[in-house]
Structure 1
């Protein structure tokens, strides 16, 4: 009688590992399907309907998207948001990088300074900080009280359409802690031998910064750039609190997300709000794709 073939080695343990992996992955997959993809599919359907939360959605095709073409307040909200992103993000990253370079010099109490600089990032998008910012830059706020000591009559920074948006940009720049921590970690990974060799060749600190630090730190800069652009396009709390939910004065702080909120939860025009949300998704995807395409011209990796 022929001997029975032995089962392949490790077959049983591998089956058990596969089952265990599926069990642990099941909650994540369920969340992805029912909490992420499910609402996204529902939102995509509502973008083609007229829906006010009371009556059943009515299919209207591309009318919501056609309406966007003639919505002047939506166009203004895009302009405000683009200004916030294209001005605030570069300035924030420059400030974060400069502070990281200073901290990388080996200051005493580095952990303390790192915590202090990181703290605004934890609180920057909170309601409390937005309220504080409104008190600081109000007509009779602390900033104008300080300027009054020098005989300067400061404007109402958040009540003047010319300065209100830039007050919010300053708030965004102030929350540089998160990218600063990432920059600091990247700086610690640059071998010191490069700087020593450059010093021997006669390169000063400024030249070393642009020829060694920036190129070797470019993957970190790219990472922070992508994250901050995505986050800035989604900014909402600061504008909502500072303007009282109106986007004023004169729609100067009407972020795209705030206008979306007004349409969806102010006018209960959920169909139009859903269409706006998908437009925002497309805009963020386009800018992310542009960054990835352009990165091959200025981001340098070890290989």
Structure 2
């Protein structure tokens, strides 16, 4: 290859790299302006006393120290952890159950898939308003159905003992996206595995626990991690419920009956926009970031260990 040809190729590579960079430049600018700069700004604000009507004043670690003195921080964390580690397994179980049903061959399977997925595309605010009506202790359909079987339905959104379970019940309604991902994982399991198991005399239960579950375990764990992360961002439903209950008045800064549905993101929002404690809210956001990172790391480590043991690794 001549030097001239090599030089032309080098110029062509440089030109391609420049063109690629120019195509990516709008995204890079958007990421810097709308993600990186706000992220670094919130980190700075977390060490300041700041609100929209006065300049930030450096206070060091005071905002982070306050987090460990505020009882509502632990209350909101407890509520959020409940949603993360109670609602997530239930939702995964229901999604896997529906996916297993839809993976079998029956007439109208396509229609059934559409019906089960449709709740996932309904706007969350509209869906929450419908559920508020369904949870009504007097006129709601849930308590009406319970009355038909002789059970006196509770005041779902008024009794602190039932408010979080009402949220869990709401979450089971829109597992369509997780269901489709589980269905894709089930369809990806090689048929030859089941045929070999049938030759060895394995029944349906053995095939599920020995073949199906190990094959779809990485997908389930991935969905569990995503659901837990989403649980730590649980905001819209409780915000709508509290606003609907209070009529949108000043009491919207609360967290429901006895703060039973005061989720961490809602309390963060209240600190920022109801109490005008932007610095404290920024510290809460970074504290939440650390918690999610630690939980994700733990789950990833556990997943690798379980997968290695399941595959016969050391």
- In the alignment, what sits opposite 1:271? 279
1:154 and 2:162 aligned: no
- In the alignment, what sits opposite 1:131? 129
Q: So what's the TM-score if we normalise by structure 1?
A: 0.94
The CA deviation string for residues 137-164 of structure 1, in whole angstroms up to 9 with x for no partner, is 1222221223333443322111110000
Alignment of 1:1-303 (within 5 A): 5-8=3-6, 10-123=9-122, 126-140=124-138, 141-244=140-243, 245=252, 246-299=254-307
**Residue 145 of structure 1: SS of its match in structure 2?**
helix
CA displacement at 1:106 relative to structure 2: 1.9
CA displacement at 1:180 relative to structure 2: 0.7
**Partners of 1:297 and 1:147 in 2: CA distance:** 44
The CA deviation string for residues 156-190 of structure 1, in whole angstroms up to 9 with x for no partner, is 11111000011001111222111110010111111
CA displacement at 1:15 relative to structure 2: 2.2
Range that drifts further, 125-134 or 270-279? 125-134
The CA deviation string for residues 188-240 of structure 1, in whole angstroms up to 9 with x for no partner, is 11111111111111110011000000111111112111111111110101111
Q: So what's the TM-score if we normalise by structure 2?
A: 0.91
Q: How many residues align?
A: 299
CA RMSD of aligned residues (A): 1.8
Contact 1:218/1:298 (8 A) holds in 2: no
**Residue 57 of structure 1: SS of its match in structure 2?**
strand
**Partners of 2:286 and 2:3 in 1: CA distance:** 58
- Specify whether residues 137 and 5 from structure 1 end up closer, same or farther in structure 2 by C-alpha distance, changes over 3 A only: closer
**Residue 272 of structure 2: SS of its match in structure 1?**
helix
CA displacement at 1:107 relative to structure 2: 2.6
Contact 1:80/1:254 (8 A) holds in 2: yes
The CA deviation string for residues 75-122 of structure 1, in whole angstroms up to 9 with x for no partner, is 100000001110000110011011101111123222222121112222
Contact 1:65/1:275 (8 A) holds in 2: yes
Range that drifts further, 26-35 or 53-62? 26-35
In the alignment, structure 1 segments of 5+ residues that lack a partner are none
**Residue 56 of structure 1: SS of its match in structure 2?**
strand
Contact 1:89/1:173 (8 A) holds in 2: no
In the alignment, structure 2 segments of 5+ residues that lack a partner are 244-251
**Partners of 2:21 and 2:149 in 1: CA distance:** 68
**Partners of 2:145 and 2:185 in 1: CA distance:** 38
**Partners of 1:153 and 1:47 in 2: CA distance:** 48
The CA deviation string for residues 10-33 of structure 1, in whole angstroms up to 9 with x for no partner, is 333322211110111111111121
